[in-house]
Structure 1
């Protein structure tokens, strides 16, 4: 069984027991979060497509930890001045584990 969920303007295909990272969401580490934006569920031949979400479906996820994503580096440069800057950014993320898919 799997589901397609929407979290923070991103869509994820998840299965029970899967671990995945999303942009930081509110929730305590060690707690659980109910995701009700379920767009699609499939259990063998039983397929449910939402318009826009599947009614009564939810995905329960555990919050494992909060972390930072990979470093993205970028530069600012002005050829007419002696202006050079090398900057970086690490996006905060939340690591989630799917506990249950209810549909």
Structure 2
């Protein structure tokens, strides 16, 4: 048995077990939907026409999901004016599985299968080997880390460090009896100082001068002196 129904201003030919995509309908996934506007019923060669609808005939279906359809592009252009506009639109649609058709005479045809509630988004994710999260599950997954942080006990606050003592001045340090006693003991145990550096230098023997070569004085005496240049007579000029 098949039927022609009207919904969302459109007409659809359906039979039990068909997957039907129509304009948006109210309801949650898994809800039962009944169409009362049945325009025609058919079973084999027998056809029942409505005027305008068949009285008492209904078509039942199960709502699987409500989603956005494929994007439709709207492009506008005015030639020689540089005018171009592109827009997109995605119509909201509902996906149904037809489960039964009931006629006016009491006949009813049912579908024996089980309604699969898998959405198109999940099927696309499976085909691409991706992990799919339902819209509600995404919100829960995002809220889980925050809930864990709030549930975890807070660490005890660190104790405040004791205030640092102020540094003593030089006068206070020198006036301390312990410091005075330490200085006295250091003076009594100090080693004997060595001789001053000046005395050590005086005590060190002087280096002997290197002997002159014997031929040096003789060579200096034997060397002839340069003759002085004759002076010019200015009177002759």
Global fold match (TM > 0.5): yes
Residue equivalent to 2:208: none
Determine the structure 2 residue equivalent to 1:24.
24
Which protein is richer in strand relative to its size?
Answer: 1
Q: Which has the higher contact order (CA 8 A, sep 6+)?
A: 1
CA distance in 1, matches of 2:7, 2:50: 15
Per mean C-alpha deviation after superposition, the further-off stretch among 23-32 and 52-61 is 23-32
Cα drift, residue 20 of structure 1: 1.4
- Structure 1 outlier segments of 4+, above 3 Å: 76-80
- 1:61 — aligned with what? 61
TM-score (norm 2): 0.41
Task: Find out whether 1:50 has 2:54 as its counterpart.
Answer: no
Shift in Å, 1:41:
0.4
The alignment of Structure 1 onto Structure 2 pairs a total of residues equal to: 102
Aligned CA-pair RMSD: 1.4
Unaligned runs of 5+ in 2: 104-237
> Which has the larger helix fraction?
2
Q: Which runs of 5+ in 1 are unaligned?
A: none
Note the alpha carbon deviations across 1:21-69, whole angstroms, 9 max, x for none. Answer: 0111122211011100000001224321100000100000110111111
